[in-house]
Amino acid sequence: MISVSKLFQSFSISARVMVSTASVVGILLLWIIFFSVERQEMTIMAQNERTMTMMVTNVISALHTIMKAGYANIAHDFVTDIRKDKNIIDFKILRINGQEAFLDNKTVNDVNRRLGDEEFSSRDLEEVRQILDPKNPDLLWVNDNLRLLPRYIKSEGGRDLLIYLAPIINDEKCFRCHGREYRLRGVVQLTTSLTQAELDIAQTRYQALIMASAAVLFMLLLLYLMIRYSLVRPLGNVRDAMEMVAGGRLDMMIKVPGRDEISEIAKSFNTMIFKLRETYDGLHQEQDKLSTIILGALDGIVVTDGAQRVVLANPSAERMLGKDLKKIIDGGWENLIDDPEYMNAVLNRRGQEIPELVFYNNRAIKVHGATLLDEIKRPLGSAFMFRDVTEEKKLEDKLRLHAITDGLTQLYNRRFVDESLVKEVKRSQRYDHFFGFILFDVDHFKKFNDTYGHDQGDRVLQALARVMKEHFRIVDFPCRFGGEEFCVLLPDTDVTGVYIVAERFRRRVEQMEVDGLKVTVSIGIVAMPACEVNSPEELIKKADDALYEAKHKGRNQVCSATPIADGELPLDLR
């Protein structure tokens, strides 16, 4: 369902101004008319009440005069004649106890008794009518205040009625017949209809409605003409000019007709177009420069717009990615290296906690990306840069391998051992992972050098290195520790596993020959966390102690820094 605000915004500006102005003026006008009508209705009702009050007062005065003149016997006829008035619905004279007078002989008998003779004749037919309860609040109020009391009520038929209760005062001229004990001789109850007043009010409302409708229509017509010629046409000219500028015409200028606000808008528009044309020309020049730089850059560059659509890719990017421009644009920036997750991480993490080097299209490529935002953090576009570092990576790997590799045996060297032990010991301590370390050297190696020469000693070390590469797992790290000493790092291997692999290696070495010469090794092992170790140096020390123990026991055997139960070993190794 369309909201009122959205519906209002869909109107033209002239319609909105008309609706807004007409609403405000119309509400004000209706309020004035409503207030005037309400005051006039109050005046009509007050005038009607005054008229009825005057009539009641006159009736009571006439009735009082009749009674004072001693014509009480014709009072009943007087009441009957008053009831014939079209504006009077009912007229009754009540005693102070709420009973209707002139229907029985009670008053006649009281008067004759006070006068001492039969001055007034009795009625043959008597009737008692209790019109009001003796405790009726209105009756008691009139009796206490001796003043006329009007009351507006609705009849059972829904008609609005005005009822008066008017006191008949018992003054000195009445004492002879009615006595002094009561201040009132009775109460007049007169009921009048408000029909005529209601008709007058309805007529007033009808006239006010006609006047309000005519005023609103006239106001709308006047507003339409004023808005049409003073607002809509000038704004239409501005709108037409803006549409032409949006279409690419920057040579548009608007005539400035006067000195009002719309004329100021026209001046501002002309100034804006002039500045925009200057900026546009400058941007064209900068764009030409930027295009020359991007297209001639050796690094690959891919650019997107604010909607993250690829709009530019230079030849270097096409060459590195192995894709033409159309394929790059159709695939989108997420699929530049066919890995949307990585490309999203490049933008969202700004290269943090992700590798900046990827291998794609048989190349080692460094990827950088960033999104340009405006003042309110809306994306203006993104840029990605790809740098081919394949040759640098090869050289780096070669240098790295040379730095951590022993030249004679092509095993990892002591530097690699020291760096790796720091990581593995910390990992085992932090996560309680298994880690094994084997340290061994060649038995009687000095004999090989002294008897057969250093070249023969080197061939023994090289043969031993080849066996190590074949015997241990891919995930293990066989290393030359120094001289004739070697070590092996075994991640995720418990003490039993370390012992088994070390013993089998020892037996394999025992069975081999190098240039007809037999070779044996003495091995010391240590494993975490079975053996409590606090540092890499302590780990090496425990392994070296186990190696020394193996030599002390006669060489060509494996000794462990941690005791191993025979039941944990295979039968062939016990």
Please report, in tens digits, the pLDDT of each residue of the chain (574 residues total).
455 555 545 556 666 666 777 677 777 777 777 777 777 777 777 777 777 777 777 777 776 666 665 555 566 666 666 666 666 777 778 887 888 777 776 776 666 766 666 666 666 677 778 878 888 888 888 888 888 888 877 777 677 787 878 887 776 666 666 666 777 778 888 787 777 766 777 777 777 778 777 877 777 777 777 776 666 666 667 777 777 767 667 666 666 666 666 677 777 777 777 777 777 777 777 777 777 777 777 788 888 888 889 888 888 888 888 888 888 888 888 888 888 888 888 887 765 667 777 888 888 888 888 888 877 888 888 888 888 887 777 777 677 777 788 889 989 999 999 999 999 999 999 888 999 999 999 998 888 888 888 888 899 999 999 999 999 999 999 999 988 999 999 999 999 999 999 999 999 999 998 888 899 999 999 999 988 899 999 999 999 999 999 999 999 999 999 877 766 677 666 5
301 and 276 co-located in one domain: no
387 and 426 co-located in one domain: no
Residue 245 in domain: no
Residue 115 in domain: yes
CA distances from 389 to 295, 303, 339, 380 (A): 19, 21, 19, 29
430 and 369 co-located in one domain: no
Residue 213 in domain: no
Q: Which of 393, 420, 442 is the last residue of a domain?
A: 393
Spatial distance between the Cα atoms of 502 and 522, rounded to a whole number of angstroms: 10
417 and 552 co-located in one domain: yes
Contact status, residue 315 vs residue 305, Cβ threshold 8 Å:
no
Residue 380 in domain: yes
Catalytic residue among 264, 484, 485, 510: 484
Q: Is 419 a catalytic residue?
A: no
Residue 326 in domain: yes
529 and 458 co-located in one domain: yes
The residue segments making up the domain with residue 335 are 297-393
255 and 276 co-located in one domain: yes
CA distances from 140 to 144, 165, 382 (A): 6, 11, 93
* CATH code for the domain of 467: 3.30.70.270
Residue 354 in domain: yes
Residue 244 in domain: no
The angle at the Cα of 86, spanning 96 to 153, to the nearest 5 degrees, equals 55
Q: Compute, in degrees rounded to 10, the torsion defined by CA atoms 66, 72, 76, 78.
A: -20
- Three-class secondary structure of residue 169 per DSSP: strand
Q: Which of 338, 362, 393 is the last residue of a domain?
A: 393
478 and 364 co-located in one domain: no
* CATH code for the domain of 57: 3.30.450.20
Q: Which of 178, 200, 222 is the last residue of a domain?
A: 200
291 and 172 co-located in one domain: no
The continuous run of DSSP H or E covering 556 comes out as: none
Residue 207 in domain: no
CA distances from 427 to 46, 270, 416, 433, 562 (A): 101, 71, 17, 7, 20
Contact status, residue 318 vs residue 295, Cβ threshold 8 Å:
no
How many domains does the chain fold into?
A: 4
284 and 301 co-located in one domain: no
CB atoms under 10 Å from CB of 135, counted, come to 9
334 and 267 co-located in one domain: no
Spatial distance between the Cα atoms of 371 and 384, rounded to a whole number of angstroms: 9
89 and 65 co-located in one domain: yes
372 and 441 co-located in one domain: no
Spatial distance between the Cα atoms of 3 and 495, rounded to a whole number of angstroms: 76
CA distances from 126 to 243, 298, 555 (A): 99, 131, 154
Q: What is the pTM (predicted TM-score) of this model?
A: 0.42
